[in-house]
Amino acid sequence: MASEATHEEAGHVEAEAQTQGEYIQHHLQFLTYGKHPDGHWGFAHTEEEATEMGFWSFHVDMLGWSVALGLLFVLSFKKMADKASVATPSGFQNFVEWVYEFVNQNVKDTFHGHSSLIAPLSMTIFCWVILMNTMDLVPVDILPWIAQTISGDEHIAFRAVPTTDPNITLGMSLSVFILIIFYSIKIKGVGGFMKELAFQPFGPWMMPFNLLIEVPTLLAKPVSLGLRLYGNLYAGELVFLLIALFGWWQLPAHFIWAAFHLLVIPLQAFIFMMLTIVYLSQACEDH
């Protein structure tokens, strides 16, 4: 009897663990839109359906939040600029001016080239990434519940943190990589850019070894830039999901982790911005 009771308890624990695993797995799925195997386009209702849609599918939730938060940044800053006052500045105007001075000073200290694009780009990256990261503080069950209520589908997936999607972070880093190539060719010319890859650091006689060093280093820039942001925010979201499994006991742990995450959110945005400035500065330096 004791062995049977022990076996039942083990089975109960295993079933509970499986349920918790399914809970986490469901919250890590995206709201995916794509082409089903039978040819029609629509939303995926399971992870298997999302996988079957293949590469040409869209994470509607991530794209929607990215665009919405980008518009929030642009429109709010534009509204402030339209109503800016030297005599009686508002609190939001003071905040925007502080952000501008902070970003502009970092650009002046780090970027050694001449471009009117770098400062606006850096400010956009900094503010946009902060807004996307801040969505990680929204309780993990609220937005999926709203999406399920509106759609009437209790199995639909819905995520709210765009920087937990590698497609978003790598897309941003790929844009930065394109600018790196553009400025490298603009400043040094095609020949100068190719010579820099082939002849450094050991000179023209060591060209094969130079290429083995410089080409992976160049290609690693967008990968490291995007995956660093994705990894940190994905880990933060996963910890919030694990805390949510505590039930009513989650509140103290949730607030502690959220307080710590208040440091992670701006820090990761700052790192992404600074690495962008550094990489573009290196692209503009003519050796």
User: What is the pLDDT, as a whole number, of residue 1?
Assistant: 43
- Look-up: residue for tokens 């079957």? 52
User: What is the pLDDT, as a whole number, of residue 283?
Assistant: 87
In 10 A of CB 62, how many CB atoms?
22
Give the model confidence (pLDDT) of 137-146 as tens digits. Answer: 988 888 888 9
User: What is the overall mean pLDDT for the chain?
Assistant: 86
**What proportion of the chain, given as a percentage, has pLDDT over 90?**
46
Give the model confidence (pLDDT) of 176-232 as tens digits. Answer: 999 999 999 988 888 888 888 888 778 778 888 888 888 899 999 999 999 999 999
- Entry pTM: 0.86
Are 53 and 32 in contact by the 8 Å Cβ rule? The answer is yes
Active site (annotated) includes residue 224: yes
Give the CA-trace dihedral at 104, 105, 109, 113, to 10 degrees.
Answer: 20
Candidate ranges 9-23, 61-75, 253-267; pick with highest mean pLDDT: 61-75
Q: Give 205 or 18, the one with higher predicted confidence.
A: 205
Token pair of 63, please? 């794209």
Identify the active-site residue in 151, 167, 228, 281: 228
User: What is the pLDDT, as a whole number, of residue 4?
Assistant: 41
Return the closest-CA partner of residue 70 out of 128, 1, 147: 128
Are 148 and 156 in contact by the 8 Å Cβ rule? The answer is yes
Q: Coil, strand, or helix at residue 32? A: strand
End-to-end CA distance of the chain: 80
Return the closest-CA partner of residue 162 out of 242, 244, 268, 55: 268
Residue type, 245: L
Kindly indicate the confidence band of residue 2, based on its pLDDT and cuts at 50, 70 and 90.
very low
pLDDT at 127 exceeding the cut of 70:
yes
Q: Give 128 or 247, the one with higher predicted confidence.
A: 128
Give the model confidence (pLDDT) of 25-55 as tens digits. Answer: 888 899 999 998 888 899 888 888 888 898 8
Return the closest-CA partner of residue 65 out of 153, 155, 128: 128
The packing angle between helices 250-284 and 91-110, to 10°, is 50
Active site (annotated) includes residue 228: yes
Active site (annotated) includes residue 133: no
Peptide bond into 37 cis (omega under 30): no
DSSP annotation of 39 reads S
Q: How many CA atoms lie within 13 A of 12 on its CB side?
A: 6
pLDDT at 239 exceeding the cut of 50:
yes
